[in-house]
Amino acid sequence: MAEAQEWKVLYYEDGVPVYACAYHPDRETTLRCGRCGRPICTQCAVLTDVGYRCPDCVAELRGRFYHATPRHVVTALLAAAGLGWLAGLVGGVLASFLGIWSIFLVLPLAGGVAEGIWRAGARHRAPHLHVYAAAVVLLTGILGVFSGLFFLPINLPFALIAVAVVTAVVYRRVQ
Ligand SMILES: [Zn+2]
Ligand SMILES: [Zn+2]
């Protein structure tokens, strides 16, 4: 608990810090891993017979940090391809109707894509998974934008910004 200050504090309540989940930077939580002290949300917490543990400690105790099988990686990347394409299409449509204001809808969209990829891989980590997932989302996202061009006059610059935002969020979250 000595390095408690390295965890992200969302806000202070009566001087007491309320932390963000170490795996979900936008989720507040009061739960902490009993081994390393890392703040974890109820979704990330793993209940072991010695109390709540964070996924990293659980993986470490199992002797493996990366525990995704090739199947998890393939499923996650397939989800990245499908969701990336959809995000490009939806982002493009939003961009053409809302212009710069679409950014407010693109952020939750990006969060949904990242969460979807993470879940498709059953929340298993793999080396460089976030890099591959982001690359797939970028490519299929651009394809999605161009698919939208067939039936709508898409606002191309904002649509591509939307794809870039989704890619960045996936890169940061899927790890
Ligand atoms: Zn831990
Ligand atoms: Zn969490």
The pLDDT of residue 1 is 44
Ligand 2 center to 89 CA (angstroms): 28
Q: Please tell me the predicted confidence (pLDDT) of residue 5.
A: 54
Q: Give the Å distance between the CA of 38 and the centre of ligand 1.
A: 6
How many whole angstroms from 32 Cα to the centroid of ligand 1?
8
Q: Quote the ligand 2 centre to 20 CA distance (angstroms).
A: 8
Distance, CA of 126 to CA of 145 (rounded, Å): 29
Instruction: Kindly report, residue by residue over 20-33, the tens digit of the pLDDT.
Output: 999 999 999 989 99
* Closest ligand to Cα 52: 1
Is 32:53 a contact under the CB 8 Å cutoff? no
Is the pTM higher than 0.75? The answer reads no
The pLDDT value recorded for residue 173 is 87
Question: Taking Cα atoms as reference points, which of 52, 50, 47, 54 lies closest to residue 24?
Answer: 54
Share of the chain above pLDDT 90, in %: 50
**11-64: per-residue pLDDT in tens?**
998 988 899 999 999 999 989 999 999 999 999 999 888 889 999 888 777 655
Torsion sign over Cα 52, 56, 59, 63: negative
Q: What is the pLDDT of residues 126-163, one digit of tens each?
A: 888 899 999 999 999 999 999 988 888 888 888 999 99
